[in-house]
Structure 1
Amino acid sequence: MIQPGFTGGTLDRADRLRHDADGLAAALADPRARLLAMRPGWEPALEEDDRLGWTGLDGAPDGADLLLLGLEADGSARVVALTGAEGGSPYRSPALMAALARLRPGEAAIYAAARSLLHWHSRNGYCANCGHATAMFRAGWGRKCPNCTAEHFPRTDPVVIMIAEHDGRALLGRQPSWPPGRYSALAGFLEPGESIEEAVAREVGEETGVRVSGVRYVASQPWPFPHSQLMIACVAQAEDDAITLDVHELEDAIWVPRDAVRRVLAGGEGPFIAPPPYAIAWTLLSEWAGG
């Protein structure tokens, strides 16, 4: 199977150091420790060879908290700086999309973790329990309230992304904000008290009126836009092909034959423009097109 984007990270997340203040201090004092280079808006600063840029820890802004991303194979720490400055946009700029297309999968995974952590900290400076200002702890993998002692940890929101198939065709949709001609798999957040299979059926039904069953899992992917999400890719069997579009969710939805999907993914012309290869929708379409 094609490796989904933002997966394959090679860093040891080093949970043991999150509980070991002395060990963490020693890792940060090691001259081999490196700081992830970021541009404004939490965009990655790439080197000429399209790898992530890293600097010494002395390059961190004054007063910045250092969030531990993990350890390299040689034991050296990799961190990202939390500055308290305005965070990233929920929209992907052309420069960011170009960088994502160039990043190698394992390095993209490191970037996704860093961006997700930064976003979570930027939105959780105050305790959800009592409203008091919180402080970072566990090497950046949590925040603690000094007033009521409540502990808060980074969250990941699960999202189902799916293809409904019927008679050798895949159901694809498009949102009006996408580039002209772009179609992709349908997607939506899981709701409380809902299974993956139930969420797939509900979302397809709500957006297109198509009833599905026989949901099967394909793959998953972390997705750091606009915040930390887990994309859960599935394929489901449609009972029929009648579309009743929810215009509040989608601009259009179409059934695309398998050979047309193959042609588009191979770079040829077809009835739609495919999602970018770093998106799990590409992986899902590729797996489905391969039969």
Structure 2
Amino acid sequence: MNLAFCGHGLNRDDHARADPARLAGLRASPLARLLAMDGLSPVLGADNALTWGALDDAAEVVFLGLDGDAPLFAPVPATGDTRPAYQQRPAWDALSLLPAQELAIYGGARSLVDWHARHRFCANCGASTELAKGGWQRNCTACDAQHFPRTDPVAIMLVEHEGDLLLGRGLNFPERRYSALAGFVEPGESVEQAVSREVLEEVGVVVTDVSYIASQPWPFPSQLMLGCHGRAQGRDLTIDATEIADARWFTRAEVATAMDRAVPEADKPFLPPPATAIAWHLLNWWLERG
């Protein structure tokens, strides 16, 4: 699967992160480049690609890695933003223009600098924290607690029963859009348990035979989407209206029609998720699997 936000191609050079003198040398390199950002949004050039500039006297910057011999950095903004992707239309429109590798570079940078902007104080004692290890850590200035960039695991699943697929509409989805059910993995449970629990909570369906398919980093703000497939033990739905707006079973023919780019939207049985989302790839995987 050629998933969006994957394949940045950088050498993240962990040894350099742990060596302050080496990091200083990378910052001082004439090849060093700073990602141009407007807050957390990318600043695109005339060719709809990321733009890069000199580090100059940029205050807080994180080391993204090496692009060949060129050290790449990104600036930490004044504030972070935990809103989901659908609430960030300008940023999302810009992302749709980026080539795959640059989208992956930006996605990683966004997650990292957003975390820094929201973790300037220690969760242990409340004192201020400072950037460490090239931006892949923050240290408390008072109690010496170490804090690390956060990634939240999310199970996203295709639920199948006798050849049909169960899809749902989120509360904030556009009209007629259906996608795979999803939910955060909770402490003390496996991915398989999270799939079964979430489906039971959201639509009242018991799921077994859960298998893993693929994963995707999602930088809004910083999830790891864990794509799975499971088999339902029945078709009766009890929808939790506080979680989703609707859920339905779709036939293979209906899913195929919805995923067919040649079919006008008005003629589709539902609107599929965007191709940048892992849900689109999961649906495509399911169709190709036969």
Q: Aligning the two structures, in what range does the TM-score lie when normalised by the shorter sequence?
A: over 0.9
**2 CA distance for matches of 1:146 and 1:86?**
20
1:139 to 131, 134, 139: 134
Contact 1:101 1:277 in 2 (8 A): no
Letter in 2 for 1:284: L
Offset of 1:202 from its aligned partner? 0.5
Letter in 1 for 2:79: E
The equivalent of 2:118 in structure 1 is 123
Q: 1:76 to 1:190 in 2, by over 3 A?
A: same
Partner of 1:243: helix, strand, or coil? coil
2:275 to 274, 277, 284: 277
User: Does 1:29 pair with 2:23?
Assistant: no
**1 CA distance for matches of 2:243 and 2:11?**
39
Structure 2 unaligned residues grouped into runs of 5+: none
The equivalent of 1:86 in structure 2 is 79
Offset of 1:97 from its aligned partner? 1.9
Q: Judge which range, 235-244 or 99-108, deviates more.
A: 99-108
The equivalent of 2:5 in structure 1 is 6
1:149-164 counterparts in 2 under 5 A? Answer: 149-164=144-159
Partner of 1:251: helix, strand, or coil? strand
Q: Judge which range, 108-117 or 186-195, deviates more.
A: 108-117
1:249-260 counterparts in 2 under 5 A? Answer: 249-260=243-254
Partner of 2:65: helix, strand, or coil? strand
**2 CA distance for matches of 1:223 and 1:278?**
10
**1 CA distance for matches of 2:94 and 2:274?**
12
**2 CA distance for matches of 1:272 and 1:52?**
34
Letter in 2 for 1:278: T
Partner of 1:198: helix, strand, or coil? helix
1:244-265 deviations in Å (ceiling 9; x for gaps): 1000101000111122222222
1:75-224 counterparts in 2 under 5 A? Answer: 75-83=69-77, 85-88=78-81, 90-92=83-85, 93-224=88-219
TM-score (norm 2): 0.94
The equivalent of 1:54 in structure 2 is 52
**2 CA distance for matches of 1:55 and 1:179?**
37
Contact 1:100 1:278 in 2 (8 A): no
**2 CA distance for matches of 1:242 and 1:260?**
19
Contact 2:4 2:216 in 1 (8 A): yes
Offset of 1:89 from its aligned partner? 5.6
Letter in 2 for 1:10: G
Letter in 2 for 1:22: A
**2 CA distance for matches of 1:173 and 1:137?**
42
TM-score (norm 1): 0.93
Contact 1:172 1:184 in 2 (8 A): yes
1:231 to 195, 200, 225: 225
Letter in 2 for 1:32: L
Contact 2:202 2:244 in 1 (8 A): yes
The number of equivalent residue pairs is 283
Q: Judge which range, 235-244 or 85-94, deviates more.
A: 85-94
1:130-164 deviations in Å (ceiling 9; x for gaps): 11111111011111112111111111111000010
The equivalent of 2:285 in structure 1 is 287
Structure 1 unaligned residues grouped into runs of 5+: none
Q: Judge which range, 230-239 or 23-32, deviates more.
A: 23-32
Contact 1:259 1:289 in 2 (8 A): no
The equivalent of 2:37 in structure 1 is 38
Identity %: 47
